[in-house]
Amino acid sequence: MADTELLFWDWNGTLMDDVRYSCGCLNGLLDEYGYPQRYDLESYRAVFGFPIEAYYRRVGFDFGRDPFPVLAESYMQLYNAGVDGCPLTDGAADVLGSLAARCEGQVLLSVSRRDYLVEQAERRGVGRRFCAMLGLTDIRGAGKVELGRQYMAACGADPARCLMVGDTDHDAETARAMGVRCILYAGGHQTRARLEATGCAVIDRLEDLPALL
């Protein structure tokens, strides 16, 4: 029997390294809408989070002036224009391959739109590693918990034998709501200190993951 029944992977910031790029897109959005503040990488990682609407408020957007749906659409236009240049995280392809024999299935679980998610995974040559790629139907970043729960129920999976790997406190919250273990990667969209505050195990390299399964 495999060590893990289902291994749920977050995509952005965990398997795909889009952190610096996303920080640049945030600054581009602020510039486009006439806001003076800018974020360097560490200040970005200190404020990024979910729900996205709350994150946009934290960085200083005024929804009375610029409605959230308009900002979200503009951000995705900026993001999609250059995301093809974002590589896999160091070690991601090797870890996905090495864990194939240690779990019954690897699943992408993301707040990205599903069509974007599938295209990005396939383009980077790792789509075949997943038994499912679960994403959302809009760009506003809500519903990850329900996607995971529905998939486990459909598979008859035992949450005690499932694991979530991500890079944000939202991944920790998602895992708890699903009743599964969680390991967080510190090279993604949030600082190590924020991840450690969740109480989950934190790794600095994806290559460190197999030893914790």
> Do 123 and 175 belong together in one domain?
yes
> Do 63 and 162 belong together in one domain?
no
> Do 151 and 111 belong together in one domain?
yes
> Do 79 and 115 belong together in one domain?
no
Separation between Cα atoms, residue 208 and residue 213, nearest integer Å: 10
Q: Can you tell me the mean pLDDT for 96-122?
A: 93
The domain of 34 spans: 19-85
| pTM of this structure | 0.93
Q: Cβ(9)–Cβ(108) under 8 Å?
A: yes
Span of 72-86, 105-119, 134-148, 180-194 with lowest mean pLDDT? 134-148
Q: Is the pLDDT of residue 3 over 90?
A: no
> Do 181 and 101 belong together in one domain?
yes
Residue with tokens 């236009």: 77
Span of 2-6, 163-167, 186-190 with lowest mean pLDDT? 2-6
Mean pLDDT of the chain: 95
> Do 42 and 116 belong together in one domain?
no
Q: Cβ(6)–Cβ(157) under 8 Å?
A: yes
Structure tokens at 71: 């900002």
pLDDT, greater one: 88 or 2: 88
Structure tokens at 158: 């035992």
Of 30, 65, 85, which residue constitutes the final position of a domain? 85
Q: How many CB atoms lie within 10 A of CB 193?
A: 11
Span of 41-55, 58-72, 126-140 with lowest mean pLDDT? 126-140
Of 85, 104, 128, which residue constitutes the final position of a domain? 85
Of 85, 108, 131, which residue constitutes the final position of a domain? 85
> Do 111 and 129 belong together in one domain?
yes
**Cα angle 65, 71, 73; round to 5:** 145
pLDDT at 143: 81
CATH number at residue 169: 3.40.50.1000
> Do 78 and 101 belong together in one domain?
no
> Do 66 and 124 belong together in one domain?
no
Q: Cβ(7)–Cβ(75) under 8 Å?
A: no
pLDDT at 2: 62
Peptide bond into 67 cis (omega under 30): no
Separation between Cα atoms, residue 118 and residue 173, nearest integer Å: 24
Calculate the dihedral angle through the C-alpha atoms of 93, 169, 152, 105, rounding to the nearest 10 degrees: 10
Q: How do residues 127-152 score in pLDDT, each as one tens digit? A: 999 999 999 875 554 588 999 999 99
Identify the DSSP state of 189.
Answer: S
> Do 94 and 170 belong together in one domain?
yes
Domains identified in the chain, total number: 2
How far lies 132's CA from each of 35, 89, 109, 154, 207, in Å? 39, 20, 8, 12, 22
